[in-house]
């Protein structure tokens, strides 16, 4: 029994080790490709960047705004009804900034992008690999590491940072409007508490999170997208891409919060 357990955990550790080494070599190959960035003609990248930004950013606006509205409304209603009970209603702005701007905005935006675009990136690339489109690009002399990953990273950073701003604005304003159905608070008072609570640190943290999520989501999804060697493996790796990106995103979110606020 003990031998079996040791063997099980040993093999799991080895496979995690091998996976981390493989991912590291993928990252290194991208970094190596960056050395030749000056030889790249960016006109071939523009269309991919624009298409990816439209899909990841513009097309996600409605769902991000809807979720922001609901999340903002819930937080504001809870805050406005609960804070007075503890006599700390003056901290409304701080609480909103802490919950919505610092944590919910970046994290929920990232989750939406992972579920929409992350899965789409992994699926698109694995299908392209299976149908030998990626091989064809390599045979044209295209550096596929850069051609596939770089435009998606640029589009993703732009989209996520933009979506976080929109999420926060909709969550605050929409949430305020929803809260009016439960309790009354004037817009001036609401706005002033928010302005007082916001610091540059919050804005910096949100943008850092947006940038890190914008890099990690496409990179991990591209990595898993390039993994399948048969059609049968495509859904397996797409699922892995989504779950592992989710996990890494939450870890990154915590790390940035610790870095800025602890």
Partner 1 sequence: MTRKLLELKNISYKAKSGIHLDNLSFDIMHGESTLIFGPEESGISELFDIIIKVTKDYEGEVFYKDKNIGQFRHQELLEYKKDIGYVHGNYGLLSNMTVKQNIALPLDYHTDLSEEEVEIFVETVAVLLKLTHCLDERPFDLTASEILRTAFARSIVLDPDLLYIEHAFENHCRMNIKVIIEFLRERSLRNDKSLILINYSPENYIDLVDKYIMLYDGRIVFQGTTENFLSTDNPYVVQYKKNSLEGPIVIS
Footprint of partner 1 on this chain (CB under 8 A)?
32-33, 35-36, 39, 41, 43-44, 124, 127-128, 131-133, 135-143, 147
Q: Which is nearer to partner 1, 200 or 232 (CB)?
A: 232
Q: How far is the CB of 36 from partner 1 (least distance, A)?
A: 5
Closer to partner 1 at the Cβ: 12 or 231? Answer: 231
Q: Pick between residue 150 and residue 194 the one whose CB is nearest to partner 1.
A: 150
Residues 202 and 258: their CA atoms lie apart, in Å, by: 13
152 in Cβ contact with 121 (< 8 Å): yes
Cβ proximity to partner 1, 109 vs 117, nearer residue: 117
CB of 20 to partner 1, least distance (A): 23
Q: Exposure of 27 by Cβ count < 10 A (0-12 exposed, 13-18 middle, 19+ buried)?
A: middle
The DSSP line for 18-76 is: HHHHHHHHHHHHHHHHHTTGGG--THHHHHHHHHHHHHHTGGGHHHHHHHHHHHHHHHH
Of residues 147 and 190, the one with the C-beta less far from partner 1: 147
Residue 46 vs 261, nearer CB to partner 1: 46
CB of 154 to partner 1, least distance (A): 17
Q: Give me the least distance between CB of 30 and partner 1, in Å please.
A: 12
Give me the residue label for tokens 């001036």.
Answer: 188
Closest by Cα among 231, 224, 254, 246 to 132: 231
Q: Cα–Cα distance between 254 and 261 in angstroms, integer?
A: 10
Collect all residues with Cβ–Cβ distance below 8 Å to 225 and sequence separation of at least 6: 121, 122, 123, 124, 125, 126, 128, 129, 237, 238, 241
What is the C-alpha separation between 155 and 157, in angstroms, rounded?
A: 6
- Give the nearest distance from C-beta 29 to partner 1 in angstroms: 9
């Amino acid at each position: 029994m003990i031998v079996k357990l040791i063997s099980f955990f040993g093999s799991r550790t080895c496979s995690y080790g091998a996976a981390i080494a493989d991912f590291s070599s993928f990252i290194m190959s991208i970094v190596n490709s960056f050395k030749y960035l000056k030889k790249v003609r960016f006109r071939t990248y523009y269309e991919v960047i624009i298409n990816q930004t439209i899909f990841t950013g513009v097309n996600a606006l409605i769902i991000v705004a809807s979720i922001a509205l609901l999340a903002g409304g819930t937080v504001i209603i809870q805050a406005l009804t609960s804070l007075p009970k503890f006599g700390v209603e003056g901290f409304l702005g701080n609480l909103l900034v802490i919950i919505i701007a610092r944590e919910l905005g970046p994290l929920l935006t990232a989750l939406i992008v992972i579920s929409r675009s992350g899965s789409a990136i992994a699926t698109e690339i694995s299908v392209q690999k299976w149908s030998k489109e990626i091989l064809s690009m390599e045979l044209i002399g295209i550096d596929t590491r850069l051609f596939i990953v770089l435009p998606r990273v640029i589009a993703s950073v732009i989209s996520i940072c933009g979506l976080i701003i929109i999420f926060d604005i909709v969550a605050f304003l929409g949430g305020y409007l929803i809260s009016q159905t439960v309790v009354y608070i004037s817009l001036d008072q609401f706005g002033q508490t928010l302005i007082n609570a916001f610091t540059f640190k919050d804005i910096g943290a949100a943008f850092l999170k947006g940038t890190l999520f914008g890099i990690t989501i496409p990179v991990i999804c591209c990595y898993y997208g390039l993994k399948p060697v048969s059609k049968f493996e495509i859904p397996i790796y797409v699922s892995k891409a989504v779950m592992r990106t989710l996990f890494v995103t939450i870890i990154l979110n915590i790390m940035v919060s610790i870095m800025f606020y602890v």
